[in-house]
Copies of this chain bind each other. A is one copy, B any other.
């Protein structure tokens, strides 16, 4: 922690955060060594007391200022609304015995010589930064909420009696992105290329936003792409060997979960590489870019690799939370055979070591049962928890304790029924029980790769890509593509890899199909129309190198970083101006109706053309 602090401070010292401004110092940097110095500091009025003392806050921290007992400025201060922007000219003095240990600048204060009101705030300010307000108010007045410690400033934190400065949200984001770029550009020779966002629609692109085209293209529209996938592959065909972009992407998913209609991904693509090459690159990139102030969360390299089938068999999910060590186990004896109903039914268990210490109420269990049975994969289960006197009518608790070597501190989850569903159900319960035991809020970051996914999956009666139609099969399975048997096709392994952190998929990538004919064949298997993709199919036939890449969900990753490893932190906490779940910007009230001119230009003239389709 001392190291982290020094690094942060060291880094700050190199920066001239007051260069090009009219202030002499930022509010966080004054200390006893500035005693008797004349200073000019500027910021927001954040506290006042006894009409003489006040605290000035800026982007970096706070400092106390003091008006002389007999000064006329006392009246000015008294009447000045909080959050007004002021300039203080004065002299730094030692606070001596009145020092405030909880403030970074608490050793000193500024004797005010001049107090200038740069911009008075309204007395009717609707909220104050760092004072609890409801979510709607905070989004509507985002420009006030941005002044809060959480979103912007160093958080001052007392740890082992040392004040630790941690960059928060937007600053961590900026630092992390800059470090990524440094790794990619300076260490690894990648080229930062902007790709268009006004693009053509892609097959099945029902979730793409559309942008009606102005004349001379009336009757047509651009689509905002969900990712630069096609462009990055075209760049490889174009001989740009090593490409990256911090790319704005768009997805119209209405109010589906914690997602924003526009989001950012770290997009990387490389030629003449392998699956292992890309995974190694991404791992090095992430570790190299890890913010210094969060060094205690940094995972170890190499990130473990597990196969999709191993993940499903051991954890019942393709993105297991590795902060939890529990695994799905077979039952080696026939102790639970009374649970089987049909031939082929399976019984699997999870021994939840330590989970006995946390009581689980019956209503919680009922809620889990309800959630699980909403899914077609939901199977019967029982949670053998020490607080229950009897677990099964036909079997004594002691028998079970003995069978699995359980103590009163442990718990056991038993699940039975038709095969795949048993793993799925246990995967869900593993997360639920771990959550309640606090294992999923440990401030730890566990990262690993999930590999060897099936290339195709079966959904609603036909084959779909498990990820996307550009993923290449592994070499040994390439010939199986030309099998006409769906069961054989479903056995093909794709060269896809997912990066999973603390049970959340942070990004994914693949080696792509570089052969035009194979790509055409895969689109045919998927019953995707090729006419929308002729430009890509053509490109692959005009000299396309083998290539592969990766995309990291930046918003989600930074949200995880800034919350000590909690991957479920809302992404809007790390986005300057987020939208609500309903896609609204409450601050500016977007979206809005069209102006008459826009209506004319984009809708009315366009209309007949558009609906001709």
A contacts, CB < 8 Å to B: 12, 14-17, 19-23, 26, 42-44, 57-60, 83-85, 118-119, 121-122, 125-126, 129, 141-147, 152-153, 170-171, 173-175, 177-178, 181-182, 185-189, 191-201, 205-206, 208-217, 219-224, 230-231, 234-235, 237-242, 248, 250, 252, 254-255, 261-262, 264, 270-274, 277-278, 280-281, 514-515, 535, 539-546, 575-577, 579, 582-585, 587-599, 601-604, 607, 610-611, 613
B598 close to A20 (CB less than 8 A):
no
Distance between Cα atoms of A359 and B556 in the complex (Å): 65
B185 close to A544 (CB less than 8 A):
no
Pairs across A and B, CB under 8 Å, 11 listed: A12-B189, A15-B189, A42-B271, A44-B239, A119-B544, A144-B238, A196-B577, A213-B591, A214-B252, A234-B577, A603-B611
Of B22, B152, B191, B542, which contacts A274 at CB under 8 A?
B22
Q: Which chain B residues border A205 with CB–CB below 8 Å?
A: 595, 598
A610 close to B603 (CB less than 8 A):
yes
A125 close to B543 (CB less than 8 A):
yes
B20 close to A262 (CB less than 8 A):
no
B262 close to A583 (CB less than 8 A):
no
Q: Which chain B residues border A593 with CB–CB below 8 Å?
A: 219-221, 610, 613
The answer to whether residues A542 and B143 also contact, given A16-B188, A200-B590, A240-B152 and a CB cut-off of 8 A, is yes
A240 close to B122 (CB less than 8 A):
no
Distance between Cα atoms of A603 and B335 in the complex (Å): 61
Of B21, B223, B577, B607, which contacts A271 at CB under 8 A?
B21
Distance between Cα atoms of A230 and B198 in the complex (Å): 22
B583 close to A122 (CB less than 8 A):
no
Distance between Cα atoms of A201 and B575 in the complex (Å): 21
A543 close to B188 (CB less than 8 A):
no
Of B194, B234, B582, which contacts A143 at CB under 8 A?
B234
Distance between Cα atoms of A17 and B106 in the complex (Å): 50
Q: In chain B, what residue has the closest Cβ to A224?
A: B211
Given A217-B584, A240-B576, 18 extra CB contacts under 8 A: A15-B189, A122-B542, A142-B234, A143-B235, A146-B237, A146-B239, A146-B240, A198-B585, A200-B590, A209-B211, A214-B254, A215-B254, A220-B591, A221-B598, A252-B601, A594-B613, A596-B613, A599-B613
The answer to whether residues A19 and B188 also contact, given A231-B577, A239-B59 and a CB cut-off of 8 A, is yes
Q: How far is the CB of A358 from chain B (nearest CB, A)?
A: 40
Q: Which chain B residues border A21 with CB–CB below 8 Å?
A: 270-273, 277
A20 close to B194 (CB less than 8 A):
no
Q: Which chain B residues border A171 with CB–CB below 8 Å?
A: 191
B17 close to A189 (CB less than 8 A):
yes
Q: Which chain B residues border A182 with CB–CB below 8 Å?
A: 182
The answer to whether residues A262 and B147 also contact, given A213-B583, A595-B205 and a CB cut-off of 8 A, is no
Q: Which chain B residues border A588 with CB–CB below 8 Å?
A: 199-200, 230, 535
**Max chain B Cβ within 10 angstroms of own Cβ: one of A171, A205, A540, A577:** A577
Q: How far is the CB of A151 from chain B (nearest CB, A)?
A: 8
Q: Which chain B residues border A281 with CB–CB below 8 Å?
A: 19-20
A23 close to B272 (CB less than 8 A):
yes
The answer to whether residues A599 and B610 also contact, given A174-B191, A238-B142 and a CB cut-off of 8 A, is yes
Distance between Cα atoms of A241 and B271 in the complex (Å): 40
A210 close to B170 (CB less than 8 A):
no
Of B146, B254, B585, which contacts A196 at CB under 8 A?
B585
Distance between Cα atoms of A209 and B223 in the complex (Å): 12
Distance between Cα atoms of A143 and B181 in the complex (Å): 24
Determine how many copies of this chain the complex contains.
2
The answer to whether residues A222 and B591 also contact, given A20-B280, A21-B273, A539-B143 and a CB cut-off of 8 A, is yes
A544 close to B197 (CB less than 8 A):
no
Q: Which chain B residues border A119 with CB–CB below 8 Å?
A: 514-515, 540, 543-546
Distance between Cα atoms of A143 and B230 in the complex (Å): 11
3 A-B pairs with least C-beta separation = A146-B238, A200-B590, A83-B543
B20 close to A601 (CB less than 8 A):
no
Of B173, B197, B242, which contacts A262 at CB under 8 A?
B197
Q: Which chain B residues border A141 with CB–CB below 8 Å?
A: 542
Q: Which chain B residues border A170 with CB–CB below 8 Å?
A: 191, 193, 240
Q: How far is the CB of A66 from chain B (nearest CB, A)?
A: 22
Distance between Cα atoms of A270 and B42 in the complex (Å): 13
A118 close to B545 (CB less than 8 A):
yes
Distance between Cα atoms of A125 and B221 in the complex (Å): 30
Q: In chain B, what residue has the closest Cβ to A222?
A: B591
Distance between Cα atoms of A12 and B264 in the complex (Å): 30
Q: In chain B, what residue has the closest Cβ to A141?
A: B542
Q: In chain B, what residue has the closest Cβ to A239?
A: B147
Q: In chain B, what residue has the closest Cβ to A127?
A: B542
Distance between Cα atoms of A237 and B85 in the complex (Å): 10
Q: Which chain B residues border A221 with CB–CB below 8 Å?
A: 591-594, 598
Distance between Cα atoms of A272 and B281 in the complex (Å): 41
Q: How far is the CB of A167 from chain B (nearest CB, A)?
A: 10
Q: In chain B, what residue has the closest Cβ to A602?
A: B210
Q: In chain B, what residue has the closest Cβ to A146?
A: B238
Distance between Cα atoms of A85 and B516 in the complex (Å): 13
B22 close to A58 (CB less than 8 A):
no
A576 close to B542 (CB less than 8 A):
no
A262 close to B198 (CB less than 8 A):
yes
Of B16, B220, B248, which contacts A187 at CB under 8 A?
B16
Q: In chain B, what residue has the closest Cβ to A606?
A: B603
Distance between Cα atoms of A187 and B11 in the complex (Å): 10
**Max chain B Cβ within 10 angstroms of own Cβ: one of A212, A272, A274:** A272
A599 close to B611 (CB less than 8 A):
yes
Distance between Cα atoms of A119 and B515 in the complex (Å): 7
Q: How far is the CB of A117 from chain B (nearest CB, A)?
A: 11
Of B216, B543, B583, which contacts A582 at CB under 8 A?
B216
